[in-house]
Structure 1
Protein backbone atom coordinates (compact mmCIF):
# COMPACT_ATOMS: atom_id res chain seq x y z
CA UNK A 1 0.00 0.00 0.00
CA UNK A 2 1.16 3.51 -0.79
CA UNK A 3 -0.27 6.94 0.06
CA UNK A 4 -1.62 9.38 -2.51
CA UNK A 5 -2.15 13.08 -1.88
CA UNK A 6 -5.59 14.50 -2.63
CA UNK A 7 -5.80 17.05 -5.44
CA UNK A 8 -5.91 19.94 -2.99
CA UNK A 9 -3.03 18.52 -0.96
CA UNK A 10 -4.88 18.66 2.35
CA UNK A 11 -5.09 14.90 2.93
CA UNK A 12 -4.00 11.54 1.58
CA UNK A 13 -5.48 8.11 1.00
CA UNK A 14 -4.23 4.57 0.53
CA UNK A 15 -3.81 2.66 -2.71
CA UNK A 16 -2.67 -0.85 -3.56
CA UNK A 17 0.27 -0.76 -5.96
CA UNK A 18 1.51 -3.67 -8.06
CA UNK A 19 4.63 -3.07 -10.14
CA UNK A 20 6.12 -5.15 -12.95
CA UNK A 21 9.62 -6.54 -12.67
CA UNK A 22 10.84 -4.35 -15.53
CA UNK A 23 10.07 -0.80 -16.65
CA UNK A 24 6.29 -0.47 -16.96
CA UNK A 25 4.88 -0.47 -20.49
CA UNK A 26 2.02 1.72 -19.21
CA UNK A 27 -0.15 2.05 -16.10
CA UNK A 28 -3.67 0.92 -15.26
CA UNK A 29 -5.83 2.31 -12.48
CA UNK A 30 -8.10 -0.46 -11.19
CA UNK A 31 -11.33 1.02 -9.85
CA UNK A 32 -12.96 -0.94 -7.05
CA UNK A 33 -16.43 -2.37 -6.73
CA UNK A 34 -18.56 -1.48 -3.73
CA UNK A 35 -16.56 -4.01 -1.70
CA UNK A 36 -13.43 -1.92 -1.31
CA UNK A 37 -9.89 -2.81 -2.35
CA UNK A 38 -10.38 -6.44 -1.39
CA UNK A 39 -8.45 -9.53 -2.42
CA UNK A 40 -10.25 -9.75 -5.75
CA UNK A 41 -9.27 -6.20 -6.72
CA UNK A 42 -5.69 -6.75 -5.55
CA UNK A 43 -5.55 -9.86 -7.75
CA UNK A 44 -6.66 -7.75 -10.71
CA UNK A 45 -3.72 -5.42 -10.04
CA UNK A 46 -1.28 -8.29 -9.66
CA UNK A 47 -2.46 -9.74 -12.96
CA UNK A 48 -1.79 -6.50 -14.81
CA UNK A 49 1.65 -6.22 -13.20
CA UNK A 50 2.48 -9.70 -14.51
CA UNK A 51 1.63 -8.41 -17.99
CA UNK A 52 4.07 -5.54 -17.66
CA UNK A 53 1.80 -2.76 -16.43
CA UNK A 54 2.06 -0.69 -13.28
CA UNK A 55 -1.34 -1.25 -11.65
CA UNK A 56 -2.86 0.69 -8.80
CA UNK A 57 -6.19 0.49 -6.96
CA UNK A 58 -7.05 3.59 -4.91
CA UNK A 59 -9.16 3.18 -1.77
CA UNK A 60 -12.11 5.29 -2.87
CA UNK A 61 -14.10 4.63 0.32
CA UNK A 62 -11.38 6.15 2.51
CA UNK A 63 -13.59 9.03 3.64
CA UNK A 64 -16.28 6.58 4.79
CA UNK A 65 -14.38 3.53 6.05
CA UNK A 66 -10.67 3.48 5.23
CA UNK A 67 -9.28 0.11 4.22
CA UNK A 68 -12.65 -1.64 4.15
CA UNK A 69 -12.63 -5.08 2.50
CA UNK A 70 -15.94 -6.87 1.99
CA UNK A 71 -17.04 -10.26 0.65
CA UNK A 72 -20.05 -10.12 -1.72
CA UNK A 73 -20.90 -13.73 -0.90
CA UNK A 74 -21.58 -12.83 2.74
CA UNK A 75 -25.03 -11.21 3.07
CA UNK A 76 -24.18 -8.87 5.99
CA UNK A 77 -21.10 -7.63 4.12
CA UNK A 78 -23.12 -7.23 0.92
CA UNK A 79 -25.58 -5.01 2.77
CA UNK A 80 -22.70 -3.06 4.31
CA UNK A 81 -21.36 -2.51 0.78
CA UNK A 82 -24.70 -1.16 -0.41
CA UNK A 83 -24.69 1.24 2.51
CA UNK A 84 -21.24 2.51 1.60
CA UNK A 85 -22.26 2.96 -2.03
CA UNK A 86 -25.29 5.01 -1.03
CA UNK A 87 -23.12 7.34 1.05
CA UNK A 88 -20.31 7.58 -1.49
CA UNK A 89 -19.72 10.94 -3.21
CA UNK A 90 -18.96 10.00 -6.81
CA UNK A 91 -17.63 13.42 -7.75
CA UNK A 92 -15.11 13.19 -4.93
CA UNK A 93 -14.30 9.69 -6.15
CA UNK A 94 -13.43 11.04 -9.59
CA UNK A 95 -11.22 13.68 -7.96
CA UNK A 96 -9.41 10.88 -6.10
CA UNK A 97 -9.00 8.94 -9.35
CA UNK A 98 -7.55 12.08 -10.94
CA UNK A 99 -5.15 12.38 -8.00
CA UNK A 100 -4.19 8.75 -8.59
CA UNK A 101 -3.52 9.46 -12.26
CA UNK A 102 -1.28 12.36 -11.23
CA UNK A 103 0.64 10.20 -8.74
CA UNK A 104 1.06 7.38 -11.24
CA UNK A 105 2.51 9.67 -13.92
CA UNK A 106 5.42 10.44 -11.62
CA UNK A 107 6.28 6.72 -11.57
CA UNK A 108 6.16 6.19 -15.33
CA UNK A 109 8.70 6.75 -18.09
CA UNK A 110 8.21 9.94 -20.10
CA UNK A 111 5.33 9.57 -22.53
CA UNK A 112 3.93 6.35 -21.06
CA UNK A 113 0.14 6.12 -21.11
CA UNK A 114 -2.40 5.44 -18.37
CA UNK A 115 -5.66 3.54 -18.59
CA UNK A 116 -8.36 2.64 -16.11
CA UNK A 117 -10.63 -0.35 -15.62
CA UNK A 118 -13.54 -0.50 -13.20
CA UNK A 119 -16.16 -2.97 -12.05
CA UNK A 120 -19.77 -2.39 -10.94
CA UNK A 121 -19.70 1.06 -9.32
CA UNK A 122 -16.16 1.19 -10.65
CA UNK A 123 -17.52 0.62 -14.15
CA UNK A 124 -19.64 3.75 -13.80
CA UNK A 125 -16.62 5.62 -12.44
CA UNK A 126 -14.54 4.40 -15.41
CA UNK A 127 -17.10 6.00 -17.74
CA UNK A 128 -16.97 9.20 -15.70
CA UNK A 129 -13.17 9.10 -15.74
CA UNK A 130 -13.25 8.80 -19.53
CA UNK A 131 -15.50 11.86 -19.71
CA UNK A 132 -13.84 14.02 -17.07
CA UNK A 133 -10.10 13.32 -17.16
CA UNK A 134 -7.28 12.92 -19.67
CA UNK A 135 -6.96 9.15 -19.10
CA UNK A 136 -5.80 7.48 -22.32
CA UNK A 137 -8.22 4.52 -22.40
CA UNK A 138 -10.97 3.21 -20.12
CA UNK A 139 -12.84 -0.06 -19.58
CA UNK A 140 -16.03 -0.58 -17.58
CA UNK A 141 -17.42 -3.94 -16.53
CA UNK A 142 -21.19 -4.10 -15.86
CA UNK A 143 -21.31 -0.38 -15.13
CA UNK A 144 -24.30 0.66 -13.04
CA UNK A 145 -26.49 3.70 -13.57
CA UNK A 146 -25.13 4.92 -16.88
CA UNK A 147 -28.42 6.14 -18.39
CA UNK A 148 -28.49 9.18 -16.11
CA UNK A 149 -24.98 10.28 -17.14
CA UNK A 150 -25.17 9.53 -20.87
CA UNK A 151 -25.20 13.29 -21.43
CA UNK A 152 -21.50 13.28 -20.52
CA UNK A 153 -20.67 11.18 -23.59
CA UNK A 154 -19.76 14.22 -25.68
CA UNK A 155 -16.73 14.78 -23.44
CA UNK A 156 -15.33 11.28 -24.11
CA UNK A 157 -12.36 11.89 -26.41
CA UNK A 158 -10.37 8.68 -25.91
CA UNK A 159 -11.31 5.00 -26.28
CA UNK A 160 -13.83 3.47 -23.88
CA UNK A 161 -14.84 -0.22 -23.79
CA UNK A 162 -17.96 -1.31 -21.88
CA UNK A 163 -18.73 -4.93 -21.04
CA UNK A 164 -22.49 -5.43 -20.52
CA UNK A 165 -23.94 -8.42 -18.65
CA UNK A 166 -27.09 -9.37 -20.54
CA UNK A 167 -28.90 -10.75 -17.48
CA UNK A 168 -27.60 -8.13 -15.05
CA UNK A 169 -30.16 -7.77 -12.25
CA UNK A 170 -28.74 -4.32 -11.42
CA UNK A 171 -28.67 -3.06 -15.01
CA UNK A 172 -32.09 -3.95 -16.40
CA UNK A 173 -32.90 -4.47 -20.10
CA UNK A 174 -34.32 -0.97 -20.47
CA UNK A 175 -31.09 0.49 -19.07
CA UNK A 176 -29.04 -1.65 -21.43
CA UNK A 177 -31.16 -0.47 -24.34
CA UNK A 178 -30.63 3.15 -23.30
CA UNK A 179 -26.87 2.55 -23.19
CA UNK A 180 -26.88 1.11 -26.71
CA UNK A 181 -29.12 3.86 -28.06
CA UNK A 182 -26.96 6.53 -26.46
CA UNK A 183 -23.52 5.13 -27.21
CA UNK A 184 -23.57 2.78 -30.21
CA UNK A 185 -22.88 5.63 -32.62
CA UNK A 186 -20.12 7.17 -30.50
CA UNK A 187 -16.83 6.90 -32.42
CA UNK A 188 -14.74 6.29 -29.29
CA UNK A 189 -17.03 3.88 -27.41
CA UNK A 190 -17.39 0.12 -27.90
CA UNK A 191 -20.11 -1.92 -26.16
CA UNK A 192 -19.89 -5.70 -25.89
CA UNK A 193 -22.84 -7.77 -24.67
CA UNK A 194 -22.61 -11.04 -22.75
CA UNK A 195 -26.05 -12.67 -23.08
CA UNK A 196 -27.24 -14.59 -20.04
CA UNK A 197 -24.45 -13.32 -17.80
CA UNK A 198 -25.18 -11.62 -14.50
CA UNK A 199 -23.57 -8.75 -12.64
CA UNK A 200 -20.10 -9.55 -11.35
CA UNK A 201 -19.37 -12.28 -13.87
CA UNK A 202 -15.70 -11.26 -14.16
CA UNK A 203 -14.96 -11.24 -10.43
CA UNK A 204 -11.63 -12.89 -9.67
CA UNK A 205 -13.16 -15.14 -7.04
CA UNK A 206 -16.43 -16.10 -5.38
CA UNK A 207 -19.88 -17.19 -6.45
CA UNK A 208 -20.43 -14.47 -9.04
CA UNK A 209 -17.64 -15.51 -11.41
CA UNK A 210 -18.64 -17.03 -14.74
CA UNK A 211 -15.43 -18.55 -16.06
CA UNK A 212 -15.96 -18.50 -19.82
CA UNK A 213 -17.46 -15.02 -19.97
CA UNK A 214 -14.81 -13.67 -17.59
CA UNK A 215 -12.04 -15.03 -19.79
CA UNK A 216 -13.66 -13.59 -22.93
CA UNK A 217 -14.11 -10.15 -21.41
CA UNK A 218 -10.64 -10.07 -19.88
CA UNK A 219 -9.08 -11.10 -23.21
CA UNK A 220 -10.90 -8.23 -24.94
CA UNK A 221 -9.72 -5.84 -22.24
CA UNK A 222 -6.12 -7.02 -22.59
CA UNK A 223 -6.24 -6.54 -26.36
CA UNK A 224 -7.87 -3.12 -25.93
CA UNK A 225 -5.17 -1.89 -23.55
CA UNK A 226 -2.37 -3.34 -25.70
CA UNK A 227 -3.75 -1.34 -28.64
CA UNK A 228 -4.39 1.94 -26.86
CA UNK A 229 -1.76 2.00 -24.10
CA UNK A 230 1.06 0.01 -25.63
Structure 2
Protein backbone atom coordinates (compact mmCIF):
# COMPACT_ATOMS: atom_id res chain seq x y z
CA UNK A 1 0.00 0.00 0.00
CA UNK A 2 1.10 3.51 -0.68
CA UNK A 3 1.26 6.24 1.91
CA UNK A 4 2.79 9.65 2.30
CA UNK A 5 4.78 8.29 5.22
CA UNK A 6 5.08 4.92 6.86
CA UNK A 7 3.11 4.24 10.06
CA UNK A 8 5.33 4.35 13.10
CA UNK A 9 3.84 1.51 15.09
CA UNK A 10 5.15 -0.85 17.66
CA UNK A 11 4.14 -4.47 17.35
CA UNK A 12 0.69 -5.04 18.79
CA UNK A 13 0.64 -7.08 21.98
CA UNK A 14 0.01 -10.76 21.48
CA UNK A 15 -3.59 -11.83 21.85
CA UNK A 16 -4.54 -14.60 24.24
CA UNK A 17 -7.34 -15.54 21.84
CA UNK A 18 -6.11 -17.38 18.70
CA UNK A 19 -6.15 -15.39 15.48
CA UNK A 20 -8.49 -17.88 13.82
CA UNK A 21 -11.20 -16.92 16.31
CA UNK A 22 -11.02 -13.32 15.10
CA UNK A 23 -11.11 -14.55 11.49
CA UNK A 24 -14.20 -16.66 12.21
CA UNK A 25 -15.91 -13.72 13.88
CA UNK A 26 -15.22 -11.61 10.80
CA UNK A 27 -16.77 -14.31 8.60
CA UNK A 28 -19.78 -14.51 10.90
CA UNK A 29 -20.21 -10.74 11.17
CA UNK A 30 -20.23 -10.42 7.39
CA UNK A 31 -22.59 -13.31 6.64
CA UNK A 32 -20.01 -15.73 5.25
CA UNK A 33 -20.88 -18.30 7.91
CA UNK A 34 -23.97 -18.51 10.11
CA UNK A 35 -24.10 -18.36 13.90
CA UNK A 36 -24.30 -22.14 14.26
CA UNK A 37 -21.10 -22.65 12.26
CA UNK A 38 -19.39 -19.83 14.15
CA UNK A 39 -20.24 -21.36 17.53
CA UNK A 40 -19.19 -24.84 16.38
CA UNK A 41 -15.80 -23.51 15.37
CA UNK A 42 -15.38 -21.72 18.68
CA UNK A 43 -16.30 -24.92 20.49
CA UNK A 44 -13.26 -26.51 18.88
CA UNK A 45 -11.05 -24.15 20.90
CA UNK A 46 -12.38 -25.42 24.23
CA UNK A 47 -9.76 -28.18 24.14
CA UNK A 48 -7.11 -25.45 24.20
CA UNK A 49 -8.37 -24.25 27.58
CA UNK A 50 -10.87 -21.60 26.51
CA UNK A 51 -14.50 -21.49 27.54
CA UNK A 52 -17.21 -20.44 25.14
CA UNK A 53 -18.23 -17.63 27.46
CA UNK A 54 -14.66 -16.29 27.46
CA UNK A 55 -14.48 -16.41 23.67
CA UNK A 56 -17.86 -14.90 22.95
CA UNK A 57 -17.39 -12.31 25.69
CA UNK A 58 -14.20 -11.11 24.02
CA UNK A 59 -15.43 -11.24 20.43
CA UNK A 60 -18.93 -9.83 20.84
CA UNK A 61 -19.22 -6.07 21.46
CA UNK A 62 -19.58 -4.59 24.92
CA UNK A 63 -20.80 -1.08 24.25
CA UNK A 64 -20.32 0.03 27.84
CA UNK A 65 -16.63 0.14 26.95
CA UNK A 66 -17.08 2.38 23.93
CA UNK A 67 -18.08 5.71 25.48
CA UNK A 68 -15.26 8.21 25.21
CA UNK A 69 -17.49 11.32 25.11
CA UNK A 70 -20.62 11.30 27.26
CA UNK A 71 -23.96 12.09 25.65
CA UNK A 72 -24.40 14.88 28.19
CA UNK A 73 -20.93 16.36 27.72
CA UNK A 74 -21.35 20.16 28.01
CA UNK A 75 -19.25 20.79 24.89
CA UNK A 76 -21.81 19.14 22.59
CA UNK A 77 -25.52 19.17 21.77
CA UNK A 78 -26.96 15.82 20.61
CA UNK A 79 -30.37 14.98 19.20
CA UNK A 80 -32.10 12.66 16.73
CA UNK A 81 -33.35 14.30 13.55
CA UNK A 82 -35.15 13.12 10.42
CA UNK A 83 -34.29 13.91 6.81
CA UNK A 84 -36.03 13.32 3.46
CA UNK A 85 -34.79 10.49 1.23
CA UNK A 86 -37.14 10.27 -1.78
CA UNK A 87 -34.86 7.90 -3.72
CA UNK A 88 -34.26 5.71 -0.68
CA UNK A 89 -36.75 4.63 1.99
CA UNK A 90 -38.61 7.94 1.87
CA UNK A 91 -37.38 9.28 5.19
CA UNK A 92 -34.26 8.72 7.24
CA UNK A 93 -33.25 9.45 10.81
CA UNK A 94 -29.90 9.98 12.41
CA UNK A 95 -27.94 11.18 15.42
CA UNK A 96 -26.94 14.82 15.02
CA UNK A 97 -24.26 16.19 17.32
CA UNK A 98 -23.23 19.85 17.27
CA UNK A 99 -20.49 21.68 19.14
CA UNK A 100 -21.96 23.80 21.93
CA UNK A 101 -19.83 26.67 20.57
CA UNK A 102 -22.51 27.08 17.89
CA UNK A 103 -25.05 28.11 20.54
CA UNK A 104 -25.93 31.70 21.22
CA UNK A 105 -23.93 32.67 24.34
CA UNK A 106 -25.92 32.12 27.51
CA UNK A 107 -28.44 29.78 25.87
CA UNK A 108 -28.98 26.16 26.82
CA UNK A 109 -28.64 23.26 24.40
CA UNK A 110 -31.68 21.38 23.18
CA UNK A 111 -33.63 24.02 21.25
CA UNK A 112 -32.57 24.65 17.63
CA UNK A 113 -33.59 28.29 18.08
CA UNK A 114 -30.64 28.70 20.44
CA UNK A 115 -28.15 28.19 17.58
CA UNK A 116 -26.26 31.26 16.45
CA UNK A 117 -26.82 31.58 12.67
CA UNK A 118 -23.60 33.57 12.29
CA UNK A 119 -21.47 30.67 13.51
CA UNK A 120 -20.38 27.97 11.08
CA UNK A 121 -18.57 24.64 11.33
CA UNK A 122 -17.50 21.86 8.95
CA UNK A 123 -19.77 18.82 8.78
CA UNK A 124 -18.87 15.12 8.91
CA UNK A 125 -21.11 12.18 8.04
CA UNK A 126 -20.42 9.16 10.28
CA UNK A 127 -21.40 5.81 8.77
CA UNK A 128 -21.97 2.67 10.82
CA UNK A 129 -21.05 -0.93 10.13
CA UNK A 130 -23.46 -3.55 8.73
CA UNK A 131 -25.68 -3.62 11.83
CA UNK A 132 -27.23 -0.19 12.27
CA UNK A 133 -26.51 2.82 14.44
CA UNK A 134 -25.00 1.27 17.55
CA UNK A 135 -23.56 3.09 20.60
CA UNK A 136 -19.98 2.93 19.29
CA UNK A 137 -20.88 4.90 16.16
CA UNK A 138 -22.86 7.43 18.20
CA UNK A 139 -19.78 7.92 20.34
CA UNK A 140 -17.64 8.50 17.24
CA UNK A 141 -20.08 11.27 16.26
CA UNK A 142 -19.72 12.82 19.72
CA UNK A 143 -15.92 12.63 19.48
CA UNK A 144 -16.06 14.66 16.26
CA UNK A 145 -18.46 17.23 17.71
CA UNK A 146 -16.19 17.65 20.72
CA UNK A 147 -13.47 18.63 18.22
CA UNK A 148 -15.64 21.29 16.63
CA UNK A 149 -17.39 19.41 13.81
CA UNK A 150 -21.10 19.04 13.16
CA UNK A 151 -21.43 15.24 13.04
CA UNK A 152 -24.37 13.25 11.71
CA UNK A 153 -24.71 9.47 12.01
CA UNK A 154 -27.72 8.10 10.09
CA UNK A 155 -29.33 4.76 10.96
CA UNK A 156 -29.86 2.54 7.91
CA UNK A 157 -32.38 0.57 9.99
CA UNK A 158 -34.74 3.48 10.58
CA UNK A 159 -37.31 2.15 8.09
CA UNK A 160 -37.50 -1.02 10.22
CA UNK A 161 -37.72 0.79 13.53
CA UNK A 162 -34.04 1.55 14.06
CA UNK A 163 -31.09 -0.22 15.65
CA UNK A 164 -32.67 -2.96 17.82
CA UNK A 165 -30.21 -2.89 20.69
CA UNK A 166 -28.03 -5.84 19.71
CA UNK A 167 -25.76 -6.44 16.75
CA UNK A 168 -27.04 -9.89 15.75
CA UNK A 169 -30.57 -8.61 15.20
CA UNK A 170 -29.26 -5.42 13.61
CA UNK A 171 -27.14 -7.38 11.16
CA UNK A 172 -30.11 -9.50 10.09
CA UNK A 173 -32.28 -6.41 9.71
CA UNK A 174 -29.75 -4.59 7.55
CA UNK A 175 -29.25 -7.66 5.35
CA UNK A 176 -33.00 -7.69 4.68
CA UNK A 177 -32.99 -4.17 3.24
CA UNK A 178 -32.55 -3.11 -0.37
CA UNK A 179 -28.86 -2.18 -0.74
CA UNK A 180 -29.57 0.42 -3.43
CA UNK A 181 -32.12 2.18 -1.22
CA UNK A 182 -29.72 2.20 1.73
CA UNK A 183 -27.12 3.85 -0.49
CA UNK A 184 -29.64 6.49 -1.55
CA UNK A 185 -30.46 7.14 2.11
CA UNK A 186 -26.80 7.91 2.81
CA UNK A 187 -26.48 10.12 -0.26
CA UNK A 188 -29.56 12.03 0.95
CA UNK A 189 -28.10 12.21 4.47
CA UNK A 190 -24.82 13.63 3.15
CA UNK A 191 -26.63 16.37 1.24
CA UNK A 192 -28.94 17.07 4.17
CA UNK A 193 -25.93 17.50 6.41
CA UNK A 194 -24.01 19.68 3.98
CA UNK A 195 -27.02 22.03 3.78
CA UNK A 196 -27.29 22.40 7.58
CA UNK A 197 -27.73 26.09 8.48
CA UNK A 198 -24.51 26.05 10.51
CA UNK A 199 -22.47 24.18 7.86
CA UNK A 200 -19.46 25.97 6.42
CA UNK A 201 -20.12 24.11 3.16
CA UNK A 202 -17.32 21.57 3.63
CA UNK A 203 -18.55 17.96 3.83
CA UNK A 204 -16.45 15.12 5.22
CA UNK A 205 -17.32 11.47 5.78
CA UNK A 206 -15.87 8.68 7.89
CA UNK A 207 -17.14 5.11 7.93
CA UNK A 208 -16.24 1.71 9.26
CA UNK A 209 -16.56 -1.64 7.42
CA UNK A 210 -19.89 -1.22 5.54
CA UNK A 211 -19.52 2.44 6.41
CA UNK A 212 -16.10 2.44 4.76
CA UNK A 213 -17.76 1.15 1.61
CA UNK A 214 -20.34 3.94 1.84
CA UNK A 215 -17.56 6.55 2.05
CA UNK A 216 -15.93 5.07 -1.05
CA UNK A 217 -19.32 5.04 -2.76
CA UNK A 218 -19.94 8.69 -1.89
CA UNK A 219 -16.51 9.57 -3.26
CA UNK A 220 -17.67 8.09 -6.59
CA UNK A 221 -21.29 9.29 -6.63
CA UNK A 222 -20.84 12.85 -5.32
CA UNK A 223 -17.13 13.56 -5.90
CA UNK A 224 -17.67 17.31 -6.19
CA UNK A 225 -19.61 17.49 -2.93
CA UNK A 226 -17.38 15.36 -0.69
CA UNK A 227 -14.41 17.43 0.45
CA UNK A 228 -12.73 14.65 2.47
CA UNK A 229 -13.44 10.94 2.99
CA UNK A 230 -11.92 8.46 5.43
CA UNK A 231 -12.97 4.84 4.89
CA UNK A 232 -11.82 2.44 7.60
CA UNK A 233 -11.43 -1.11 6.19
CA UNK A 234 -14.03 -0.55 3.49
CA UNK A 235 -14.45 -2.05 0.03
CA UNK A 236 -14.51 0.23 -3.03
CA UNK A 237 -17.53 1.31 -5.03
CA UNK A 238 -18.60 -0.89 -7.93
CA UNK A 239 -16.09 -0.99 -10.78
CA UNK A 240 -18.07 1.16 -13.21
CA UNK A 241 -18.15 4.08 -10.74
CA UNK A 242 -14.53 4.11 -9.61
CA UNK A 243 -13.27 6.25 -12.49
CA UNK A 244 -15.17 9.18 -10.96
CA UNK A 245 -13.26 9.17 -7.66
CA UNK A 246 -10.89 12.09 -7.27
CA UNK A 247 -10.55 12.43 -3.50
CA UNK A 248 -9.24 13.60 -1.17
CA UNK A 249 -9.38 10.21 0.52
CA UNK A 250 -7.51 8.71 3.45
CA UNK A 251 -7.92 4.94 3.47
CA UNK A 252 -7.23 2.94 6.65
CA UNK A 253 -6.54 -0.81 6.52
CA UNK A 254 -5.78 -3.60 9.00
CA UNK A 255 -2.96 -5.93 7.98
CA UNK A 256 -4.79 -9.05 9.23
CA UNK A 257 -7.95 -8.16 7.27
CA UNK A 258 -7.23 -10.14 4.11
CA UNK A 259 -10.84 -10.10 2.89
CA UNK A 260 -10.80 -6.31 2.55
CA UNK A 261 -7.14 -5.98 1.62
CA UNK A 262 -7.62 -8.23 -1.41
CA UNK A 263 -9.76 -5.47 -2.96
CA UNK A 264 -7.12 -2.76 -2.60
CA UNK A 265 -4.65 -3.37 -5.44
CA UNK A 266 -7.29 -2.97 -8.14
CA UNK A 267 -8.83 0.05 -6.43
CA UNK A 268 -5.46 1.73 -5.98
CA UNK A 269 -4.66 1.21 -9.67
CA UNK A 270 -7.87 3.04 -10.55
CA UNK A 271 -7.11 5.87 -8.10
CA UNK A 272 -3.70 6.30 -9.70
CA UNK A 273 -5.27 6.30 -13.16
CA UNK A 274 -7.70 8.97 -11.94
CA UNK A 275 -4.80 11.01 -10.53
CA UNK A 276 -6.88 11.04 -7.36
CA UNK A 277 -5.70 12.70 -4.16
CA UNK A 278 -5.35 9.87 -1.66
CA UNK A 279 -3.23 8.38 1.09
CA UNK A 280 -3.48 4.80 2.36
CA UNK A 281 -2.24 3.27 5.59
CA UNK A 282 -1.77 -0.41 6.36
CA UNK A 283 -1.47 -0.99 10.11
CA UNK A 284 0.49 -4.12 11.10
CA UNK A 285 -0.69 -6.87 13.44
CA UNK A 286 -4.28 -5.63 13.80
CA UNK A 287 -7.67 -6.98 12.78
CA UNK A 288 -10.64 -5.63 10.89
CA UNK A 289 -12.46 -3.47 13.43
CA UNK A 290 -9.32 -2.30 15.24
CA UNK A 291 -10.89 1.13 15.84
CA UNK A 292 -13.99 -0.30 17.54
CA UNK A 293 -13.25 -0.08 21.26
CA UNK A 294 -16.13 -2.36 22.27
CA UNK A 295 -14.48 -5.68 21.30
CA UNK A 296 -11.17 -7.50 21.70
CA UNK A 297 -10.29 -6.57 18.11
CA UNK A 298 -9.66 -3.04 19.37
CA UNK A 299 -6.02 -2.02 19.33
CA UNK A 300 -5.62 1.19 21.29
CA UNK A 301 -2.30 2.54 19.93
CA UNK A 302 -3.31 1.82 16.34
CA UNK A 303 -6.80 3.24 16.82
CA UNK A 304 -5.40 6.42 18.35
CA UNK A 305 -2.86 6.84 15.54
CA UNK A 306 -5.48 6.25 12.84
CA UNK A 307 -7.90 8.65 14.54
CA UNK A 308 -5.25 11.34 14.96
CA UNK A 309 -4.53 11.06 11.25
CA UNK A 310 -8.24 11.27 10.52
CA UNK A 311 -8.60 14.47 12.53
CA UNK A 312 -5.53 15.99 10.88
CA UNK A 313 -6.93 15.09 7.47
CA UNK A 314 -10.30 16.65 8.21
CA UNK A 315 -8.59 19.73 9.61
CA UNK A 316 -6.60 20.13 6.43
CA UNK A 317 -9.55 19.78 4.05
CA UNK A 318 -12.60 20.96 6.00
CA UNK A 319 -11.39 23.86 8.12
CA UNK A 320 -10.08 25.96 5.21
Classify the TM-score, shorter chain: 0.7 to 0.9
Alignment match, 1:63 = 159
Give the root-mean-square deviation of aligned CA atoms. Answer: 2.4
Moved more, 125-134 or 150-159: 150-159
Of the three residues 125, 141, 144, the one matched with 1:29 is: 125
Aligned pairs for 1:1-230 (under 5 A) are 1-7=80-86, 11-23=90-102, 24-64=120-160, 66-71=162-167, 77=168, 80-109=169-198, 111-133=200-222, 134-144=225-235, 146=236, 149-171=238-260, 173-184=261-272, 186-230=275-319
Give, in whole Å, the separation in 1 of the partners of 2:88 and 2:298: 38
Measure how far apart 1:127 and its partner are: 0.1
Paired residue total: 220
Equivalent residues of 2:216, 2:231 under 8 A apart: yes
Measure how far apart 1:178 and its partner are: 3.1
| Structure with bigger gyration radius | 2
Distance 1:25 1:111, change over 3 A: closer
Q: Deviations over 1:150-201 (max 9, x none)?
A: 4422212331111011111532x53343344443564322211112211100
Distance 1:154 1:67, change over 3 A: same
- Using the size of structure 2 for normalisation, the TM-score is 0.62
- SS where residue 151 of structure 2 aligns? strand
Equivalent residues of 2:87, 2:185 under 8 A apart: no
Equivalent residues of 2:229, 2:249 under 8 A apart: yes
- SS where residue 208 of structure 1 aligns? coil
Moved more, 157-166 or 104-113: 104-113
Equivalent residues of 1:184, 1:190 under 8 A apart: no
Equivalent residues of 1:26, 1:108 under 8 A apart: no
Give, in whole Å, the separation in 2 of the partners of 1:193 and 1:88: 32
- SS where residue 93 of structure 1 aligns? helix
Equivalent residues of 1:36, 1:69 under 8 A apart: no
Moved more, 116-125 or 3-12: 3-12
Measure how far apart 1:65 and its partner are: 5.0
Structure 1 alignment gaps of length 5 or more: 72-76
Task: Return structure 1 stretches of 4+ with deviation > 4 angstroms.
Answer: none
Moved more, 148-157 or 206-215: 148-157
Alignment match, 1:74 = none
Q: Deviations over 1:95-126 (max 9, x none)?
A: 11222123223424464311111100010011
- Using the size of structure 1 for normalisation, the TM-score is 0.85
Equivalent residues of 2:94, 2:155 under 8 A apart: yes
